[in-house]
Structure 1
């Protein structure tokens, strides 16, 4: 190619703005306007201009409304989710700033950006231009030739003809044929069912083209051949839909068409940009321009008639300290009249079951709040209203379910009020859970929410109380400062809610997850935490003694093998023994260059050497003893005789709950010693422990989502799914499947759900990598629906930046388009697994809600005491056992109608271990 030719740089603006929106956090201007996509767009356009010198350029966007493809095919893009509202709000400013940066902008009603780009590329190359197209859209690979190159700035990928062949397996001139066969899930264009990239490439190589494939359809064998023959009538239409138009009439939109003079790249309008940056809070870029413009910098924004947004810190704030009955009654009237009230408690402890109230704050509108100090102490503490009397005055309102309340992590405040005998009711919204539903991959503290969504930075706890050993209790904080802090928390939560709730409300899936799952399960979790679970300290003491004896014995074995004593807790000494004295092979090194002795290394060495195996066993017993058998008795609440874990609701991006203090989710159950710990979780006299566990839940969800015929059939017929898989993979009748073949199939089933490749499968099964690859290939040949689901999910995830559960929960994948290969591969594995993990999380939460509703409706004495993974653990009076054995699994199975039956299995015993 003659690089001295003029260059036309074409930017797929619609692709850019989606990538910018999903790649950046939910940034906000000082007045709360969303700016994440704006920020990303400016950064990408500035960088692109630096990287690709060009005389002519244009940023092309999709116009609103239908295109000619909608006339051809009514279901075109029918399944594509509507553009998120925060992105819709940023479209006009994005067009404005791209123009200010010097780029011509093109938006043509009735045609897509791809077709405008195709037409411009063809005209430009005929006029002797070199053409560079910046996009992440695979469809545009069909334009590539000796004159046209694609670049993807997100992945640093450049596609010339050789690059297209290397990436897709076909040259650019065959991309249309390739896309026609595989289809396009994002645009809802069907291909040939069960034909993926590998088969499409193979067919095109064998038959030369799509026409050649169609002509040979009668000779192509197998299920794929049958599907091809069924698709023959559709394929010409599919080809028409995936072909980028290169002959659109742009005369009405490009001055002087077909000459390209109107698309000359201009200098940036720096004065206009400075105004823009000020309006949207882009301080760094604004300062850069101010430095260049000096005294010529405009004092205020006026170019569009919009006044610059006032900094959020200047929001009018009025915080009142309530110190008299008159003011408390006045505020109580205000609370009674308000549609929604934000509430927050200040306490003397972070432990919910022990925390005592120091003060309470309220807000009914942003910027205005009040604080009732109730237990501040110290020489300078003012006179305060009596705590018990204030709570008695507030109790009717606090317990009134018709009075709507909101807050940040109100599950904690439920406990705080419950400690005083008040059952908080009417909780409508929780800003922590709103954030969790909208953006699970981001921080959910009120401080981060206010900064991210409002541009506000409030007082921090450390600002008031200090840090470390010098930190004072909240009760010793000056009341005026405490008022500012607590009232600000309440009104800021209300302000955050006003930004987040409209986004949730506008999306049916997100609203369902928030209103039908997260909010009601928060109340159920509070009840589980409050009831707690009974543990047997004597059983734990016995286990601690046994573990200590086994650890001493292991130490002696270790010393005998090493032929000397050493510190089993010292990585340095372990390394000297293993790699110095014994000469074991070094598998990897630490950052300092020393041989690593981490768990992965010891596990690998343990397969061949006894000493690493004994060290690992000693480590696992020490962890079990320190984390559970020694520690659990110390965590028993003396007032209840039970341990009360905390279920963190807004931690795992998949929707799974996390348990802490103590962590009941991570009790190891793969060893006899770990399983034995569950014996210490017991039922009180006259009760039993009932465990109800969803059976093979993630495989059932895979069957539902992928609609794979083989999996659907196995579950619907009640066949052992691992045996059925073994029969398919090994090609033997069900009755002839060996236990070893079933074990292999089980590893394959679960491994593929977690994105395991041939290397991982080989490691798990202890076989050669080639044999593992053969098993995977056979699996996908038999379960083609699973393969199709995986391929389509990767595509959708890259387009949207997230995947979804069956119920509409969004599972964000920030690294899905990363330029870092390992990170991107990890995100692709997450994309496949997350819908199953997330749906399983949704199902167990729905089960908790359904079970609790049934217990309340029937006034049962049965109580849920734990939730662990896909399992509910209940404490059941013996008189209710027959009811519970029937009702609990039935309720769990009935929370959703999937394409396969949901099954919950029940076990019963005097303790948790026996119930398994």
Structure 2
């Protein structure tokens, strides 16, 4: 067919100059310096890999006549000929890029398969709906104005009818003169299929699409596969989980990224709907092909496939609902606390300058010599964790500097910045939770929102429950160490959890040879024992331990040796992990449900990498298995929220998950039975074999200022529970802030 000129609202760059003009420019340029010499000079300069690739493309385009210098670049202000430069060549690359983009788009349209349907009228839509009525599973995707789920909007729907082998694109809000269907008509036509749980749905990065449909009033049900999350189980070390990169790599289907084709514009600005069809319908097509590829490979690992389908896939909808709940910020408290922090920062700054001299504290080049002069120590760097923290006990000025740095980060990153992220329409703060943010499968959060996983305890006070609600929180007591006891079956660890003893005090008494009475809460022995167990569980060794407790490496190694001497079964298990990863290049998490691939462990030539991944084998098993427990429990917690809401107990919602802590937003009229139901889910959903779970529960109005269950329901604080007078007074204040009588027996 004849292809008309493609219209696209992008800067396509400058057209190639006519042949006569090209010749004139070449002649003028060569009079100053032959172009071949210019290229040799440019290539002889220091170039990044990216710049070298761009220069190669520009040189090729100039040599085959598709590109020439701009006349204005050939002469200087005086009108004299000017040499060809690297900067000019890189400017020309934008023109090459635009030419390449236009050619790719043209080719995409020319090669659009016959089973890609562009649906722009109600008759064609009705025909497609008839096809969907016979489908058991469909692919879905939405095209949008951008990637902000709270402010962007849908401009078209991609639906693949799998049995019918039709990949459709239904535009609704493109900026074009071409006819397209009204969004309400399309929404109502597709709603029955989106919301039918018996029709399976598969997508890539489904959480985004579920969010966007939710904002249109459509509740997606029946999700069966997400190719992005499936790939995280097949290879968590992928450099990119973008759909186009994955299908190019694994399916050998050449696919350009959105940025390569359209730059930074929203899809609504693609005004040629033939281009929109060629791009969007292909998303549905390749997502289906990638799903089939992934399912075949996961089928070879039955337990991984079962875990993916029963935990990772259902979790996507749970996380989407949790993100939608949003977070409330106490702006008055933020302003008040911000003033206090600022005053403290100014005081600390003045004191530091008085001791260190007039230096820029945020400049390592100025700070390092000033610290060396004051302390008399030779410093490798000004790294807070590795260098400064071990010196803080010895030098008050270093301790003060670390306090300044912590307060500055708290003020600039949280207290001062968080209020600016509040959504103006809803008054809430939103964040993005990534269920597989770490390669072990552990959660991360952030994106365009706030990173709740890294929230300092002082900043948590900014987050509050809205009026009439409370934050019901539970954290697994020693989650990862119970996992360690389960895997190792060390008799001392197992017996400790059966007896319900204080693990850290017990270990401290063993390692340091002290009476248990001297190793209780607040003792230096207990604190050090806690870090020792952390180093063991994370495979960190003496280097991690010395930095954490501020001792020399040889002393840290003595602590570890003492631990392993008294817990030989743990030592044997750690060594077995290292032997396994050395042989296989990966380790299994609980019940063979997922792998952590550490290929460098098999490569002794990897030097530092070999050593690092060797020790990661233990960390991966413990942290990854704990993450599985968290995820399985989150699904059960969402079911609890749905049940309580359906029973008329008010609106229950998942609020957030931070490491080993799960928090719900619940009506502040909750009962003790409600709390028991919450505790039951936390401790019984996923148990590590014979090791009992334990959860510490608090009820809060302000995150980080929680009440124990008996305090919340009685409105009283027992002096016996708080030996420290300041803690006692703090709890009395919290109880006195309107909590009495809220809970019901």
Note the C-alpha offset of 1:742.
Answer: 2.3
In 1: Cα distance, 2:598 partner to 2:324 partner: 35
CA gap 1:829/1:884 in 2 versus in 1, 3 angstroms: farther
Note the C-alpha offset of 1:903.
Answer: 0.9
Check conservation: 2:138, 2:160, Cα contact below 8 A: yes
Determine the structure 1 residue equivalent to 2:449: 662
2:323 to 515, 519, 529: 529
Q: What is the 5 A alignment of 1:556-705?
A: 556-564=350-358, 566-575=359-368, 577-579=370-372, 582=374, 584-588=376-380, 600-660=386-446, 661-669=448-456, 675-705=457-487
Note the C-alpha offset of 1:698.
Answer: 0.6
The alignment status of 1:786 with 2:570, answered yes or no, reads yes
CA gap 1:457/1:606 in 2 versus in 1, 3 angstroms: farther
Note the C-alpha offset of 1:781.
Answer: 2.4
Q: What is the 5 A alignment of 1:431-580?
A: 431-442=227-238, 443-466=240-263, 471-477=264-270, 478-564=272-358, 566-575=359-368, 577-579=370-372
In 1: Cα distance, 2:541 partner to 2:506 partner: 21
Aligned residue for 1:876, secondary structure, equals: strand
CA gap 1:315/1:487 in 2 versus in 1, 3 angstroms: closer
CA gap 1:883/1:320 in 2 versus in 1, 3 angstroms: same
Note the C-alpha offset of 1:678.
Answer: 1.3
CA gap 1:373/1:725 in 2 versus in 1, 3 angstroms: same
Determine the structure 2 residue equivalent to 1:707: 489
CA gap 1:317/1:695 in 2 versus in 1, 3 angstroms: farther
1:743 to 517, 527, 538: 527
Check conservation: 2:140, 2:158, Cα contact below 8 A: yes
In 1: Cα distance, 2:395 partner to 2:371 partner: 10
1:835 to 583, 601, 621: 621
In 1: Cα distance, 2:582 partner to 2:132 partner: 47
Note the C-alpha offset of 1:500.
Answer: 0.2
Q: Deviations over 1:436-486 (max 9, x none)?
A: 1221221322122202220122132123322xxxx3222111322121111
1:874 to 656, 661, 664: 664
1:412 to 208, 215, 239: 208
The alignment status of 1:370 with 2:157, answered yes or no, reads no
In 1: Cα distance, 2:652 partner to 2:696 partner: 18
Q: What is the 5 A alignment of 1:376-415?
A: 376-378=174-176, 381-415=177-211
Note the C-alpha offset of 1:665.
Answer: 3.1
CA gap 1:714/1:496 in 2 versus in 1, 3 angstroms: same
Check conservation: 1:319, 1:484, Cα contact below 8 A: yes
Check conservation: 2:223, 2:314, Cα contact below 8 A: no
Aligned residue for 2:160, secondary structure, equals: strand
Q: What is the 5 A alignment of 1:35-50?
A: none
Note the C-alpha offset of 1:523.
Answer: 0.8
In 1: Cα distance, 2:293 partner to 2:352 partner: 60
The alignment status of 1:816 with 2:610, answered yes or no, reads no
Q: Deviations over 1:733-764 (max 9, x none)?
A: 53454633322322211111112323443443
In 2: Cα distance, 1:759 partner to 1:750 partner: 13
Check conservation: 2:384, 2:402, Cα contact below 8 A: no
Note the C-alpha offset of 1:415.
Answer: 0.8
Note the C-alpha offset of 1:653.
Answer: 0.9
In 2: Cα distance, 1:905 partner to 1:553 partner: 38
Note the C-alpha offset of 1:780.
Answer: 1.6
Check conservation: 1:355, 1:419, Cα contact below 8 A: no
Q: What is the 5 A alignment of 1:250-261?
A: none
Note the C-alpha offset of 1:770.
Answer: 4.1
Unaligned runs of 5+ in 2: 1-109, 708-745
Mean alpha-carbon deviation: is it higher for 818-827 or for 402-411? 818-827
2:586 to 802, 807, 813: 802
The alignment status of 1:755 with 2:521, answered yes or no, reads no
Check conservation: 1:603, 1:616, Cα contact below 8 A: yes
Q: What is the 5 A alignment of 1:12-31?
A: none
Note the C-alpha offset of 1:676.
Answer: 2.6
Check conservation: 2:538, 2:618, Cα contact below 8 A: yes
Determine the structure 1 residue equivalent to 2:699: 908
Note the C-alpha offset of 1:538.
Answer: 1.4
Check conservation: 1:352, 1:416, Cα contact below 8 A: yes
Aligned residue for 2:706, secondary structure, equals: coil
CA gap 1:586/1:337 in 2 versus in 1, 3 angstroms: farther
Note the C-alpha offset of 1:412.
Answer: 0.7
In 2: Cα distance, 1:567 partner to 1:587 partner: 17
Q: Deviations over 1:361-383 (max 9, x none)?
A: 122359852211111115xx411
In 2: Cα distance, 1:843 partner to 1:696 partner: 13
Note the C-alpha offset of 1:413.
Answer: 0.6
The alignment status of 1:862 with 2:652, answered yes or no, reads yes
Q: Deviations over 1:863-909 (max 9, x none)?
A: 11111111111112122242332111211111123221011110112
Note the C-alpha offset of 1:805.
Answer: 1.5
In 1: Cα distance, 2:677 partner to 2:574 partner: 36
Task: Count matched residues.
Answer: 585
In 2: Cα distance, 1:639 partner to 1:506 partner: 48
Q: Deviations over 1:754-780 (max 9, x none)?
A: 123234434433445444333322322
TM-score (ref. length: structure 2): 0.74
Determine the structure 2 residue equivalent to 1:344: 141
Q: Deviations over 1:154-191 (max 9, x none)?
A: xxxxxxxxxxxxxxxxxxxxxxxxxxxxxxxxxxxxxx
Q: What is the 5 A alignment of 1:258-407?
A: 318-365=115-162, 368-378=166-176, 381-407=177-203
Note the C-alpha offset of 1:668.
Answer: 4.5
Check conservation: 1:691, 1:912, Cα contact below 8 A: no
Check conservation: 1:364, 1:494, Cα contact below 8 A: no
CA gap 1:597/1:865 in 2 versus in 1, 3 angstroms: closer
Check conservation: 2:389, 2:547, Cα contact below 8 A: no
Check conservation: 1:444, 1:650, Cα contact below 8 A: no
In 2: Cα distance, 1:666 partner to 1:848 partner: 16
Check conservation: 1:405, 1:429, Cα contact below 8 A: yes
Check conservation: 1:458, 1:488, Cα contact below 8 A: no
Note the C-alpha offset of 1:712.
Answer: 0.5
Check conservation: 1:464, 1:481, Cα contact below 8 A: no
Check conservation: 1:354, 1:419, Cα contact below 8 A: no
TM-score (ref. length: structure 1): 0.61
Check conservation: 2:357, 2:370, Cα contact below 8 A: no
Check conservation: 2:640, 2:678, Cα contact below 8 A: no
Note the C-alpha offset of 1:695.
Answer: 0.4
CA gap 1:759/1:667 in 2 versus in 1, 3 angstroms: closer
Check conservation: 2:210, 2:220, Cα contact below 8 A: yes
Note the C-alpha offset of 1:732.
Answer: 4.7
Mean alpha-carbon deviation: is it higher for 447-456 or for 739-748? 739-748
CA RMSD of aligned residues (A): 2.4
Q: Deviations over 1:493-541 (max 9, x none)?
A: 1110010012223322202220121111111101111111222111112
Aligned residue for 1:643, secondary structure, equals: coil
Unaligned runs of 5+ in 1: 1-312, 589-594, 670-674
Q: Deviations over 1:650-684 (max 9, x none)?
A: 33111111111333434454xxxxx2321221112
Q: Deviations over 1:54-112 (max 9, x none)?
A: xxxxxxxxxxxxxxxxxxxxxxxxxxxxxxxxxxxxxxxxxxxxxxxxxxxxxxxxxxx
Note the C-alpha offset of 1:356.
Answer: 0.7
The alignment status of 1:773 with 2:560, answered yes or no, reads no
Check conservation: 1:575, 1:597, Cα contact below 8 A: no
Q: What is the 5 A alignment of 1:60-79?
A: none
Q: What is the 5 A alignment of 1:142-161?
A: none
Note the C-alpha offset of 1:729.
Answer: 2.2
Check conservation: 1:805, 1:835, Cα contact below 8 A: yes
Note the C-alpha offset of 1:407.
Answer: 0.5
In 1: Cα distance, 2:701 partner to 2:159 partner: 46
